[in-house]
Structure 1
Amino acid sequence: MDEARDPGGLTKVIYLLVLSGAWGMQMWITFVSGFLLFPALPRHTFGLVQSKLFPFYFHICMVCAFVNFGILVSQLTWAQLTFWETSQFCLLLLCLLLAVINARWLEPRTTAAMWAMQALEKDRGLGGEMPSSREGPHPYHQLREQDPKYSSLRRIFFRYHGFSNLCNLGCLLSNGFCLVGLALSLNHL
């Protein structure tokens, strides 16, 4: 942004804090927390933790994307957009759209499918074991082969979970590219 439309120090600080905070949170949730919790918790406990964590996380991502997009849009001179401003606008718009889809559509459906799967698993005495404990034939494979309803729920869960992961990765990359662009546009440190 050039000097004629300098947004002011406080706006710049808010923009940078929200963008970097969102990216840091996305990095932690995406690449650390699940990998630490999954082997350490029983399956259904892990699902419970994720069902409490993800709605909060996705809504924070949505709010951060909205704040950053709002700050950027209010500062742009639409007749003279530079390549960087256009790229940043597109990246933040993409992040906002993906965050809304994740928070408002994918997460509730993923969680509902997980709860339905867990109810069927509990009926079979499953869910309290640690993910790494496998003795004999895998009981979840047997359940999937014996119960078409469970098999269908599992497909639905993994479909929504996969789309949610893609949206999350899209948000993470969008915010990451915005941070890279900001870092490259610094004149001095």
Structure 2
Amino acid sequence: MEAPVPSQDTMVTATEPSDTIKLLHLLCLSTSWGMQIWVTFVAGFVMGSHLPRHTFGFIQRELFPYYFHTGSACAFFNLTLFAMHHPSELLSDKQQTQTIIFLVCVAASVLNTQWFGRATSDIVADMHLMERSHGLGQATRKSCQQLCASNPSYKQLCQQFTLYHALSSLCNFCCIVCNGLSLYYLASALPAL
């Protein structure tokens, strides 16, 4: 007895992405990765060590929304482009892992964009206003510690900043790891350079 042949409506097939789709996927992944490495490990350290504290904070408040939104968009497009050409019914173990990596990256980048990064920037702005109101226009670490010891409101802002900055940094690090793993996955699938 012959097994029934599934109809065209119930067949699930993986389609080979076009070169344009592959290029878009690679552009999103490499843009996100390069931006994350540059902002996290180069620009942040250089600006933090060479700019006055308030100037550095102002630049970050202006730059980070673009950074976070671009990272979120790239993560979303990476997941979408991958999912379009890898039906869930046909995923190998490696592809399932890659899908999870993309999902984690989207979640971490959206959390950073919508909550942690925004909250950190808002808290820094409030801290700078309070520092200026106490005559600390370009406050040093020592003068901020003194203000923290004498002003409970400023101390609370410092504690909130520490929490939200840590959560934002954790999300950022998570995205860097996810994109690094995705690059590794792509590299392992290349037949040649």
Instruction: Using structure 1 for the length normalisation, give the TM-score.
Output: 0.91
Whether 1:87 aligns to 2:97 is yes
Sequence identity of aligned pairs in percent? 38
Matched residue, 1:60: 70
Whether 1:32 aligns to 2:42 is yes
Runs of 4 or more above 3 Å deviation? none
For residues 160 and 77 of structure 1, the distance between their equivalents in structure 2, rounded to whole angstroms, comes to 37
Whether 1:148 aligns to 2:158 is no
Cα contact 2:120–2:164 (8 A) shared by 1: yes
Aligned to 2:138, what secondary structure does the other structure show? coil
Give the 5 Å matches for 1:84-163. 84-128=94-138, 138-163=142-167
Matched residue, 2:184: 180
Cα contact 2:17–2:85 (8 A) shared by 1: yes
Cα contact 2:14–2:85 (8 A) shared by 1: no
1:10, distance to aligned residue in structure 2 (A): 0.6
Matched residue, 2:10: none
Larger Cα Rg: Structure 1 or Structure 2?
2
Across the two proteins, how many residue pairs are aligned to each other?
Answer: 181
Give the 5 Å matches for 1:64-75. 64-75=74-85
User: 1:113-152 deviations in whole A, cap 9, x for unaligned?
Assistant: 11111111112221425x6xx7xxx211111110010000
Instruction: State the Cα RMSD in Å.
Output: 1.5
Can you give the 5+ residue segments of structure 2 that lack an aligned partner in the other structure? 1-12
Amino acid at match of 2:48: F
Matched residue, 2:87: 77
Matched residue, 1:18: 28
1:187, distance to aligned residue in structure 2 (A): 1.2
For residues 126 and 159 of structure 2, the distance between their equivalents in structure 1, rounded to whole angstroms, comes to 12
Instruction: Using structure 2 for the length normalisation, give the TM-score.
Output: 0.90
1:4, distance to aligned residue in structure 2 (A): 5.4
For residues 73 and 139 of structure 1, the distance between their equivalents in structure 2, rounded to whole angstroms, comes to 52
1:40, distance to aligned residue in structure 2 (A): 1.4
1:77, distance to aligned residue in structure 2 (A): 2.2
Amino acid at match of 2:72: M
Aligned to 2:136, what secondary structure does the other structure show? coil
Aligned to 2:135, what secondary structure does the other structure show? coil
Cα contact 1:42–1:127 (8 A) shared by 2: no
For residues 179 and 144 of structure 1, the distance between their equivalents in structure 2, rounded to whole angstroms, comes to 43
Aligned to 1:5, what secondary structure does the other structure show? coil
